[in-house]
Amino acid sequence: MRFSLRRESQHLVRQALFLPEASDYIASSATESLSLAQPVSTSPFVLGLQSQARKARMAINVGIHEPAERGARLKNTLIWIDDQGNIAQKYSKLHLFDVDLKDGPRLKESESVEAGSFILPPFPTALGNVGLLICFDLRFPEASLSLRRQGASLITYPSAFTVPTGKAHWSPLLRSRAIETQTYVVAAAQVGQHNDKRVSYGHSMAISPWGEVLAELDGTWGGEPELAFFDFDASLVEKVRREVPLLRRTDVYPQV
């Protein structure tokens, strides 16, 4: 599932492509996942995307795996490839997905993944200030509120959500993060059957700072990649924040 974001500035249209979490592969076991992880600098998958970004003059945001520096683990990483093909930013997932659902999947990401240790500050792009988060980070509003306080106008949540949790919480959580941070939220999502053990919910979404769903894919896998388009409007971010000011009582509770 893929998203393309466009921003119009006079007669110039700037675009960015948003791809899901773990776009390089989803393995059937932790052992297999570790064996497939490659350094970002030499990964054929990443090098190919860098080439395409350079050729199309379009930024690409994509989730990948990479070996961790310490021990036999990997990182769940999100990279921003700029329109020159350079890896401009890199973020490691903070919150790892450890669940054991009745009649559902048992997933222990912490058994093979090293958690990130910091929130990457929002960074300027032709589309505005972008903040990077991944999948399970969605359940923790502190991270998105921190990005909002630091000036983010768009926050990403590339994901591979499970079907039970996706049906229950995917849309409400995404809309909540957009409404409470007054930012655009972009969540490109894996969909369908990956192997005997993994199925992803899909339903890639883009949401406005007002909480309006601007684009959504239907969550069915027809065998071909899908694109959803939406327009980013920086003035809408300013309008929503001006008309519904969120004055936080940091004298009562801590600022994040």
Output the domain CATH number for residue 232.
3.60.110.10
Give the torsion through C-alpha atoms of 52, 57, 63, 67, to 10 deg: 70
Tens of pLDDT, residue by residue over 29-86, are 889 999 999 999 999 999 999 999 999 999 999 999 999 987 689 999 999 999 999 9
pLDDT confidence band for 14 (50 / 70 / 90): confident
In a domain, 253, yes or no: no
Reply yes or no on whether 135 is catalytic: yes
pLDDT of residue 69: 85
Residue 195 belongs to some domain of the structure: yes
- The stretch 206-214 carries a mean pLDDT of 98
pLDDT at 183 over 60: yes
Per-residue pLDDT, 8 = 60
In a domain, 94, yes or no: yes
Q: What pLDDT score was predicted for residue 17?
A: 96
251: in domain: no
Does the residue 249 lie in any domain?
no
Is 75 part of a structural domain of the chain?
Answer: yes
CA separation for the pair 14, 209 (Å, rounded): 20
Q: How many domains are contained in the chain?
A: 1
The pLDDT tens digits for 90-125 are 999 999 988 776 776 677 888 889 999 999 999 999
Known catalytic membership, residue 66: no
* 21 is known as an active-site residue: yes
Proportion of the chain above pLDDT 90, given as a percent: 79
The average confidence (pLDDT) of the chain is 92
| Mean pLDDT (whole number) for 152-178 | 97
Catalytic residue among 66, 75, 93, 216: 93
pLDDT at 2 over 60: no
Residue 223: predicted pLDDT: 74
Domain containing residue 86: 3-243
Burial label, 220 (beta-carbon count in 10 A; 0-12, 13-18, 19+) = exposed
Distance CA(252)–CA(254), nearest Å, equals 7
Residue 1 has pLDDT above 70, yes or no: no
| Residues in Cβ contact with 206 at an 8 Å cutoff, skipping those fewer than 6 apart | 3, 5, 184, 185, 186, 187, 213, 214, 215, 216, 228, 230
CA distance 67 to 35: 9
**Which one of the listed residues 21, 66, 109, 114 is annotated catalytic?**
21
User: Would residue 18 count as lying in a domain?
Assistant: yes
Q: Is the pLDDT of residue 7 over 70?
A: no
Q: Which of 75, 109, 135, 216 is catalytic?
A: 135
Q: Look at 15-29, 99-113, 120-134, 241-255 and tell me which has the smallest mean pLDDT.
A: 99-113
